[in-house]
Amino acid sequence: MLKRLKNIGPGALIAAAFIGPGTVTACTLAGANYGYTLLWALLFATIATIILQEMSARLGLVTQQGLGETLRIMLNQSIWKWPLFALIMVALYLGNAAYEAGNLSGAALGIDALTDNSQSFYRISVILISLLAGTLLWRGSYKQIERILLILVALMALAFIATFISVGPNLSALFKGLTTPKIPDGSLLTVIALIGTTVVPYNLFLHASAVKAKWSSVNDLNHARADTATAIGLGGLITILIASTAAASIFGSGLNISGAGDMATQLEPLFGSFSKTMLGVGFFAAGLSSSITAPLATAYAMTEILGVKGGTSSRTFKLIALSVIFSGVILALTGIKPISIILAAQFANGLLLPVIAIFLLVVMNHKKQLGQYTNKWLGNTLGIIVVMVTAGLGIRLIMSATGML
C-alpha cells in the first residue's frame, strides 16, 4: 500500500486538473436541474478518462516522448503533416483559451463568494489571478504552490463527500441514474459539458509529458497504470458525489444557480453559514491550479509538435502559455455571466475530445514507436466506443441546433 501511494504522481495532477471550477459548476447544475438522471454521463466520462489517460501514460513511459512529439515524428514524411498539425494546434489552442476563461472566472467566483463584492471587483479578480498564474508560469515556480492548491481542492472535495453522507441521497434513484442513460429535453448541452469537464483533451498531452518526467523504464508501467486508475477513479467518484449532493439538496427547490453562493447551498446541511467560505476557497484553489495546467499543457503540445527545443525553460514555451492566459482573460471579461463561460468551456472541451482522441488512437497503434506496447483489440475497441459516443453527442447537438433533428 505504501509503495502504491509513493508512486501516485501524474494521475493526481490530471485529476486535480479536471476537478476545477468547471467540474463543480457543471456537476452542480446537472444535479440541481435534472436530479440523478445524468449521473450515467459522469460514470461514462470517468471510465473514458481512465481508458484514454492510460494510453497517454503508456505512450509517455514507453517512448519517453510527449503526444505532440510523437505525432510530429509519425507525420514527418506525410503530405498531410502541416494541415493536421494546424488542425490540432488551432483546435487545442481555442479549446484551451475557452477553458482558461472558465478557470479564471471560477477562481474569481471563489473570491466573489468570500467577499460578496460587485461585478467590477470580479473583473479586477480575473486580472489579478491571471497575473499571478502568468508570473508563476514565466518564473517556473508553479510547482512551489502546486501542493498547497491540491490540498485546498482536496478539502473542498472532502466537504462534498461529507455533505453527500449527511444529506442522505436517494440511493435507488442514484443507482438508476448511474446505470440508465437518459437525455431529458434540454439536457444535451449539459451532458456534453459533463463529459468535457472530465475527459479534458489537453490532459492527454499533459499526462504523457508528466509520466516521462517521473518514470523512465517500461518496468514502471504497472505503477503508471495504478496511478492513473486510482487517482482518476477517485476524481470521477468526487464528480458523481457533487452532482448527487446537488440532486439531494437543490433539485426541485426552484433555486436558480447564478453564482458560487448559490452553489454553496448544497453544503449548508453540514457546514451552515461556513459553506460559502468552504466553496469560495475551494473554487479559488481549483480555478488557479487549472489556470496553470491549461496553458502549461497547451505549451507542451505546441512546442512538441513544432519541435521547439528547451522544454519548459524556452521562451517560446513560456510565450505560448502566457498567450493562452491572455486569451482567457479577454473571454472572461466579455461581460458574459461567469457560470455561462464555465459551462461553455466544458461544452467546447466535449466537442474537441473526439478529434484529439482519434489522433491518440492512431498514435497508440504505431508499432515503430511503441513496439509490443501498442493497443490491443480491447484498448482499440474501448477507445473507438469513446470516440463514437462523444462524436455522436456532438453531432446530435449540432443537428438539433440547426433544426435537422
Q: pLDDT tens for residues 56-101?
A: 999 999 999 888 888 888 888 888 888 888 888 888 888 888 888 8
Give me 270's grid cell.
453540514
19-23, 38-42, 165-169, 341-345: segment of lowest average pLDDT: 341-345
Q: Using one digit for the tens of pLDDT, what is the confidence trace for 175-219? A: 999 999 999 988 888 898 888 888 888 888 889 988 887 888 888
User: Picking from 36-50, 252-266, 300-314, 376-390, which range would have the lowest pLDDT averaged per residue?
Assistant: 252-266
Task: Kindly report the pTM of this predicted structure.
Answer: 0.86
- End-to-end CA distance of the chain: give it in Å, rounded: 52
Cα–Cα distance measured from residue 188 to residue 147, given in angstroms and rounded to the nearest whole number: 36
Helix, strand or coil, per DSSP, at residue 368: helix
- Residue 262's pLDDT band (cuts 50, 70, 90): low
Mean per-residue pLDDT of the chain: 83
pLDDT in tens, 32-45: 899 999 999 999 99
Contacts of 69 (CB under 8 A, 6+ apart): 304, 305, 307
Q: What is the DSSP letter of 32?
A: H
What Cα–Cα distance (Å) separates residue 317 from each residue in 15, 160, 309? Answer: 23, 37, 9
Residue 246 has a pLDDT of 87
Backbone φ, ψ for residue 260 (5° rounding): -65, -30
DSSP 152-218: HHHHHHHHHHHHHHHH---HHHHHHHHHS----TT-HHHHHHHHHHHS-HHHHHHHHHHHHHH--SG
Residue 14 has a pLDDT of 84
| Percentage of residues of the chain with pLDDT beyond 70 | 89
Q: Which grid cell sits at 357?
A: 482522441
Q: How far apart are CA 11 and CA 210, in angstroms?
A: 9
**Is residue 73 classed as helix, strand or coil in its secondary structure?**
helix
Say how far apart CA 108 and CA 223 lie, in whole Å: 37
Mean pLDDT of 370-391: 91
Instruction: Reduce the secondary structure of 305-348 to three states and give it as a string.
Output: HHCCCCHHHCHHHHHHHHHHHHHHHHHHCCCCCHHHHHHHHHHH
In whole angstroms, give the CA distance from residue 398 to residue 405.
Answer: 9
Position 119 pLDDT exceeds 60:
yes
pLDDT band of residue 404 (cuts 50, 70, 90) is low
Calpha distance 378→375 (Å, rounded): 8
Interval 135-148: pLDDT, tens: 888 887 666 666 66
pLDDT of residue 5: 46
Give pLDDT, residue 259: 63
- pLDDT single digits (tens) 308-349: 887 777 889 999 999 999 999 998 888 777 777 777 777 777
pLDDT at 255: 65
Q: Check whether 357 has a pLDDT greater than 70.
A: yes
Half-sphere exposure of 105 (CA within 13 A, CB side): 32
